[in-house]
């Protein structure tokens, strides 16, 4: 139980700081369509957990070892994140909070995957951090730890989406500003990935 709690607390500390996934969940929750909110949150959780488990097993070693793979992920990640930011910026001027909203499941899946997986530095850092925990834990304790990390992801993103949606009426007049901030942060993340990609080519 103690290793599960360690994983849970570490997982919360790891996902709670404002980052690209949190911005994406908050933005998706700022509408009245519960179906879209639930789908977005579910897929963000799925990809975040899959990333955490992969990092725990050491996938970051591959990106660290093979530069071409790292560069490919960085470039694709930057382009996808730029698209998400541009799409958010473009639709922000005509934003309306509705109970019905057109959506594409494929777009939700691609976006949720992108904000989780298309950041090689996060994968490498995650592998180093989670990998160090894995080497320090023996037997079943390592399993309990990573389960705690996964539960933390489920709890955090679910609570984050719920709170953002719950207070939509109070935040309604600030939605455009929140979306604008989200778009800028996403753009900066994409710019950072592109910068890292260019540095690797030099």
Q: Tell me the domain boundaries of the chain.
A: 2-201
Which helix (H) or strand (E) segment is 20 a member of? helix 20-29
Distance CA(157)–CA(42), nearest Å, equals 9
- Has this prediction a pTM greater than 0.85? no
What pLDDT is recorded for position 173?
Answer: 65
Q: Which two tokens stand for residue 57?
A: 């097993």
Residues of the chain with pLDDT under 70: 18, 31-32, 60, 91-103, 121, 169, 171-173, 175
- CB 116, CB 44: distance < 8 Å: yes
- CB 184, CB 84: distance < 8 Å: no
What pLDDT is recorded for position 100?
Answer: 45
Q: Which two tokens stand for residue 159?
A: 């609570």
Distance CA(139)–CA(145), nearest Å, equals 11
What pLDDT is recorded for position 162?
Answer: 92
- CB 23, CB 187: distance < 8 Å: no
Which helix (H) or strand (E) segment is 181 a member of? helix 175-201
């Amino acid at each position: 139980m103690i290793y599960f709690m360690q994983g849970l607390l570490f997982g919360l500390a790891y996902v709670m700081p404002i980052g690209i996934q949190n911005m994406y969940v908050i933005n998706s929750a700022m509408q009245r369509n519960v179906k879209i909110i639930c789908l977005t949150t579910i897929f963000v959780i799925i990809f975040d957990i899959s990333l955490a488990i992969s990092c725990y097993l050491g996938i970051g070693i591959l990106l660290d070892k093979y530069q071409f793979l790292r560069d490919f992920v960085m470039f694709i990640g930057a382009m996808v994140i730029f698209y998400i930011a541009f799409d958010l910026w473009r639709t922000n001027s005509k934003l309306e909070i509705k109970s019905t909203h057109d959506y594409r499941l494929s777009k939700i899946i691609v976006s949720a995957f992108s904000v989780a997986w298309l950041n090689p530095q996060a994968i490498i850092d995650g592998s180093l951090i989670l990998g160090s925990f894995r080497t320090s834990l023996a037997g079943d304790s390592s399993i309990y730890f990573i389960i705690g990390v996964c539960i933390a992801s489920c709890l955090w993103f679910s609570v984050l989406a719920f709170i953002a949606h719950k207070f939509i009426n109070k935040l309604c007049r600030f939605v455009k500003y929140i979306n604008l901030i989200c778009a800028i942060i996403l753009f900066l993340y994409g710019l950072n990935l592109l910068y890292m990609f260019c540095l690797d080519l030099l």
